[in-house]
Structure 1
Amino acid sequence: MRENIGVHEALEIHELLTFKSLCLTKSSIMQGLVSDPKLKEIMKQDVIKASQHIEDLKNHLS
């Protein structure tokens, strides 16, 4: 679903994609270190949302 976006916009989306991927990796790794069940659930939801956001951003670039 490549929209009519300029080079600048594509670079911005790519930058967001890189940032979201880093956040996803960090949350995934940190889940294993967390002992509080509420915090672990929050992080689990963050991983799910970040994965959805990454897919949305990828759709804008393809």
Structure 2
Amino acid sequence: MDIQKLADHESLDLHEAINFKTLCLAKSKLMQGLVFDDDLRALMKKDVEQSIQA
């Protein structure tokens, strides 16, 4: 069986994407407490839930 390995630049791209998504998740979770609009809060909550699933 062949074992496939990511190239260095692919590993770096994946690392950057994961870091960005984690940062967005943390920001959305923290900003929910500062939002007064119920619709926006619901969207942010949905984004957090979907990000955790992903």
Where structure 1 has 5 or more consecutive residues not aligned to the other structure, the ranges are: 54-62
Structure 1 residue ranges (4+ consecutive) displaced by more than 2 angstroms after TM superposition:
none
Question: Normalising by the residue count of structure 2, what TM-score does the alignment of the two structures yield?
Answer: 0.80
- How far apart in 1 are the matches of 2:32 and 2:26? 10
What root-mean-square deviation, in Å, do the aligned CA atoms of Structure 1 and Structure 2 show? 1.4
Q: Which residue of 2 aligns with 1:58?
A: none
Taking the aligned partners of 2:49 and 2:7, their CA distance within structure 1 comes to 29
Match of 2:16 in 1: 15
d(CA) in 2 for partners of 1:45 and 1:4?
Answer: 34
Aligned pair 1:26/2:17, yes or no?
no
Structure 2 spans left out of the alignment, 5+ residues: none
Name the % identity.
47
1:4 aligns with 2:41: no
Determine which structure has greater relative contact order: mean sequence separation of CA pairs < 8 Å that are 6+ residues apart, divided by chain length.
Answer: 1
Q: Aligned residue pairs: how many?
A: 51
